[in-house]
Chains A and B, each alone.
Chain A
């Protein structure tokens, strides 16, 4: 099961990233656990300076952007 983390303090872009990521994961039919990391200190532990960001199994795939569902499917695959 993949662990998907959405890093962001809860702004509209963070919600959009979570929404697109969930749609991508469902479209791929993968088993996943989606966690929203909203604590800034926890976010900083990833070395991320720009949010929102998407991490998959602990690896940050993208930061400071909200990729489309299609783009996220490639990041999750």
Chain B
């Protein structure tokens, strides 16, 4: 077949990152850290709202991800709970309050964003689940 040599995005399932992206200062840090991780090539930020909304394409892609990282700003764990309620059980979780970044007292500085991104990269580096059948 003439097009057998074409490549596509099935060659390597990405590591997906789901920040809570909440309205607080820590929510902003999760969002910006996820974007930094994407820019740095550690994984790809994806849409947590698509999981909540059970968007079929987002659900199916997440099921095939090489790894999943959820990032929550506070102990409400909205991102983690959203993934779990959608049926995802095997993923890494990062909670900013566990890193001493307190809600309402932690403006989204570059230093904090970098620290969260570094911790996220560390967690992603150690995780790889089965993918691409």
Residue numbers of A with Cβ under 8 A of B are 8-15, 46-53, 55, 59-67
B60 touching A62, Cβ below 8 Å:
yes
Q: Would you list the 7 A-B pairs with minimal beta carbon distance, nearest first?
A: A64-B64, A47-B57, A46-B57, A63-B60, A65-B133, A60-B56, A9-B8
Cβ contacts under 8 Å, B63 to chain A: 62-64
**Can you list 28 A-B contacts (CB < 8 A)?**
A8-B8, A9-B9, A10-B6, A11-B4, A11-B10, A11-B11, A13-B10, A47-B47, A47-B55, A47-B56, A47-B57, A48-B61, A49-B16, A49-B58, A49-B61, A50-B13, A50-B131, A51-B9, A60-B61, A63-B57, A63-B61, A63-B64, A64-B10, A64-B13, A64-B64, A65-B132, A66-B133, A67-B133
Residue of chain B at shortest CB distance from A66:
B133
- Complex interface: chain B residues within 8 A of A62 (CB): 60, 63-64
Distance of A13 Cα from B14 Cα, bound (Å): 17
| Cα distance A51–B57 in the bound complex, in angstroms | 10
- Besides A60-B61, A65-B64, 13 more A-B contacts (Cβ < 8 Å) are A9-B6, A9-B8, A13-B10, A46-B57, A48-B57, A50-B9, A50-B61, A50-B64, A51-B10, A52-B10, A60-B56, A63-B61, A64-B60
Nearest CB in chain B: distance from A13 CB, A: 5
Question: How many chain B residues touch the partner (CB < 8 A)?
Answer: 29
Task: Tell me if B8 and A10 are in contact (CB < 8 A).
Answer: yes
Chain B interface residues (CB < 8 Å from chain A): 1, 3-4, 6-11, 13-14, 16, 44, 46-47, 50, 55-61, 63-65, 131-133
- Residues of B with C-beta under 8 A to A51: 8-10
Beta-carbon contact of B8 and A64 below 8 Å: no
Query: Taking the nearest CB of chain B, how far is it from the CB of A50, in angstroms?
Result: 5
* Closest Cβ neighbor of B12 among chain A residues: A50
- Report Cα–Cα, A50/B65, bound state, in Å: 8
CB of A14 to closest CB in B, whole Å: 6
Q: Indicate if the CB atoms of B56 and A46 lie closer than 8 Å.
A: yes
